[in-house]
Amino acid sequence: MKIFYWYPIALGALSLVTFILYGADKSKARRGAWRIKERTLLLFSFFGGAVGGSAAMLFFRHKTRHARFVAVNFLGLLWQIALGVFLFLHF
């Protein structure tokens, strides 16, 4: 099977994990519990989970005031789309 077909599946899985991580962090923030590191959230968002990270920011209203999170999700989304287009055209 072509790599292009696996790419959206991988992005979907990473986005789901990222969405869950953001939700868990929001829940922990409300309870005053030990939080998920911002770096972890940012890395998951940038390296494949930008759609899930962006959706979670809106759905949970979490980290929306942090310019760094908005920027990382946006840049992650851009490179993930660019790679998808590249894979589609060349593989």
Assign 5 a pLDDT band (cuts: 50, 70, 90): confident
pLDDT at residue 65, as a whole number: 93
Between CA 73 and CA 43 the distance in angstroms is 10
Contact 14, 44 (CB under 8 A): yes
pLDDT at 91 over 90: no
Contact 27, 60 (CB under 8 A): no
Give the closest residue to 20 by CA, choosing from 47, 55, 46.
Answer: 55
Between CA 29 and CA 18 the distance in angstroms is 16
Q: Could you tell me the CA-to-CA distances from 70 to 15, 25, 81 in Å, in that order? A: 15, 16, 17
pTM: 0.93
